[in-house]
Amino acid sequence: MKTLTELEKRFGITFAEKDLLEQAFVHRSYLNEHPKFHLNHNERLEYLGDAVLELVVTEHLYGNYENPEGDLTSWRAALVNSRTLADLAEELDFNTCLLLSRGEAKDMGRARQYILANTFEAFVGALYLDQGYEACKKFIGAHLIKRLPEILEKKLYRDPKSRFQEEAQDRVGVTPTYEVVKEWGPDHAKTFRVGVYLEKELVAEGEGPSKQLAQEDAAQNGIEKKKW
């Protein structure tokens, strides 16, 4: 398991306020089991980091591409969506530093992806408070924006449902349909599992906090499963 100090060394960053760095990795569930823990959860840092992240990416796109607003908006969405951020957070070993409840620690599915994406945003928020905008710009440029050429080359900025539908119609002459397979959790925090079908064939399933996001997840999983 990596320590936060090891993460700092990997990134070439030294936090002046170590509590800010640690708080970025504190999930709400951890405090349910450790109510006397000396730090709060990371949701406020996540809120701040989300705004910083969007600004850095927007500034980069605006300064480097002459494309119209619609293109830039799609590209930005592909860079900062939960799947991209979760993949990056996992690549950066954020998983090993998370403070989670025992139940959340066992769940390595879609819920963990959302936690990782939110943790990445929280880390950016912590970095902003500790070292300012330029440090965030350098970090995001080194680790996230470098993914942009692949996104553009493979047209990953297009909505997964649209991509899957076009491929399915072109390849097999079928329009995909979606069906909620399962839902759970309280009304204010539901999780949905949705299946995407080609006629009667269940191609893949996806999860998300809304039916729309679960459908997008299922479509993306369908693209990967079909190797489209």
Q: Which residue has the higher pLDDT, 2 or 97?
A: 97
CA distance 20 to 41: 11
Letter for the amino acid at 105? Answer: A
Helix 82-91, helix 69-80: angle, nearest 10: 40
Residues designated as active site: 50, 121
Task: Give the Cα separation of 173 and 187 in Å (integer).
Answer: 38
Confidence of residue 189 (pLDDT cuts 50, 70, 90): confident
**Domain, as residue range, for 196:** 160-226
- Give the domain CATH number at 166: 3.30.160.20
Shared-domain flag, residues 185 and 130: no
Name the amino acid, one letter, at 226: K
* End-of-domain residue from the set 153, 182, 198: 153
Is residue 131 scored above 60 in pLDDT? yes
User: Tokens 């929280």 correspond to what residue?
Assistant: 122
Q: What is the maximum span of the chain, computed from C-alpha positions, in angstroms?
A: 58
Q: How confident is the model at residue 102 (pLDDT cuts 50, 70, 90)?
A: confident
Question: What mean pLDDT do residues 33-52 have?
Answer: 96
Could you tell me what percentage of the chain is helix, strand and coil, using 3-state DSSP and rounding each to the nearest 5?
65, 10, 25
> What does the alpha-carbon distance between residue 140 and residue 124 come to, in Å, rounded to a whole number?
8
Closest to 193 (Cα-Cα) out of 204, 178, 183, 203:
183
Q: Determine which of 101-105, 118-122, 215-219 has the lowest per-residue pLDDT on average.
A: 101-105
SS3 206: strand
Q: pLDDT at position 188, please?
A: 80
Distance (Å, whole) CA 199 – CA 84: 30
The number of distinct structural domains making up the chain is 2
Q: Are residues 137 and 217 in the same domain?
A: no
Q: Give pTM, 2 decimals.
A: 0.76
Per-residue pLDDT, 2: 65
Q: What are phi and psi of 76, to 5 degrees?
A: -60, -45
Percent of the chain scoring above 90 in pLDDT: 75
Work out the end-to-end distance of the chain between its first and last CA atoms, rounded to an integer number of angstroms. Answer: 36
pLDDT of 57 reads 98
Most confident by average pLDDT, 6-10, 48-52, 167-171, 219-223:
48-52
Which strands make up the sheet holding 191-198, listed edge to edge?
177-184, 191-198, 201-208
Do 81 and 165 fall within a single domain?
Answer: no
For the chain, the residue count is: 228
Q: Which residue has the tokens 């823990």?
A: 37
Specify whether 51 is located in the same domain as 75: yes
What distance lies between CA 18 and its chain's CA centroid? 24
One domain for residues 86 and 189: no
Neighbouring CB atoms inside 10 A of 146's CB total 11
The reported pLDDT for the residue numbered 228 is 84
Residue 124: give its domain's CATH number: 1.10.1520.10
